[in-house]
Amino acid sequence: MKISPLFLALRCCILLWVVCLTACQSSQNTDQQTSQESVAMAAIDTTKSDSMSVYLLDIKAKLTNLETIVVNDDPVFHAKKTYRAVPFQAVMDQFLAAYKNLDLAQTQIVFECEDGYNPSMSLAKVLDKKSYLALSDVDAPTGQEWINPTKEGREMKIAPFYVVYTDVPASDVSFKWPYNLVKISLASASEELAVLFPKEDDTVVKGFELFKTNCLTCHALNKVGGKMGPELNYPKSVTEYWKSTDDIKAFVKAPSSYRHDCKMPAVTHLNDKELDEILRYLTYMSQHKPQKS
């Protein structure tokens, strides 16, 4: 695997920066400042954010350039929605300026949601559209920032942040619309996913790609990926303990026909052939697990 020297250099800078930050913070703590602001500052664990990631609640007060935007067909609410929001580009420029030093084509933005949903997308793709970080729903009752929609009888929590686009159709499933969002971070696409790439069998690369865009946001393989759903490969692969891959396919198409109150949404946008590709990839991965530690 090839890691660019620039990326390595950047990593070193971040390390240094984190060290400095920790030092600054402890010196700040010895200062006898009692203003409201310094109390609030101290409550924030700034050591967790670095130039490659940002906790959005930490910066909420600094998001001042709010606009009122309209999303004609919001895929989460299935309705026309109006939000108070900040252009995503402005958030990046102000708080994650390090992205300018990275190879945009190789950079993934990882959205971390409170419920463990961890979708990621090409950063270039997000910045190429009219993307926004929404802070509140204009239609919410006074005194309330958000309205929570219900899906299959369950209330979805949208707060504290929601990523929306004004120029992406709801039908384009290659765009992520993460809500309940708490953190964004940057990762090198090649590095993060290298461990999941099927190096030994190029006939399952298609399945890998499909898994990456449709499943990895919620499911980890070999401990890499989202945490909303269960890990699917380690220590035991789903292909080892389910009756058959056909059974897994049927589950993926209609999870609630298997489990009452199932938290996995039905996958309806992939056809049988695509699901077969995914299952062949999962079967391949069952033979490629990390060493037990």
Which residues in this chain contact ligand HEC in the complex, by CB under 6 A?
214-215, 217-219, 228-230, 232, 238, 248, 251-252, 259, 262-265, 267, 278
Task: Give the separation between CA 248 and CA 122, rounded to whole angstroms.
Answer: 29
**Smallest distance, ligand HEC to C-beta of residue 138, A:** 27
Task: Give the separation between CA 183 and CA 161, rounded to whole angstroms.
Answer: 9
**Smallest distance, ligand HEC to C-beta of residue 179, A:** 12
Q: Using the 8-state DSSP alphabet, how is residue 105 labeled?
A: G
Spacing of C-alpha 40 from chain mean position = 27
Residue whose CB is less far from ligand HEC, 80 or 259: 259
Q: Which residue is nearest to ligand HEC (CB)?
A: 229
Residue whose CB is less far from ligand HEC, 54 or 221: 221
Q: Give the phi and the psi of residue 93 in degrees, each rounded to 5.
A: -60, -40
**Smallest distance, ligand HEC to C-beta of residue 162, A:** 15
**Smallest distance, ligand HEC to C-beta of residue 114, A:** 14
Task: Give the separation between CA 285 and CA 272, rounded to whole angstroms.
Answer: 20
In terms of Cβ atoms closer than 10 Å to its own Cβ (0-12, 13-18, 19+), residue 74 is buried
**Smallest distance, ligand HEC to C-beta of residue 113, A:** 10
**Smallest distance, ligand HEC to C-beta of residue 207, A:** 10
Residue whose CB is less far from ligand HEC, 80 or 236: 236
Residue whose CB is less far from ligand HEC, 60 or 259: 259
Give me the sign of the Cα torsion angle 89, 190, 206, 226: negative
Residue whose CB is less far from ligand HEC, 71 or 221: 221
Around Cβ 136, how many Cβ atoms within 10 Å? 20
In terms of Cβ atoms closer than 10 Å to its own Cβ (0-12, 13-18, 19+), residue 278 is buried
Residue whose CB is less far from ligand HEC, 59 or 228: 228
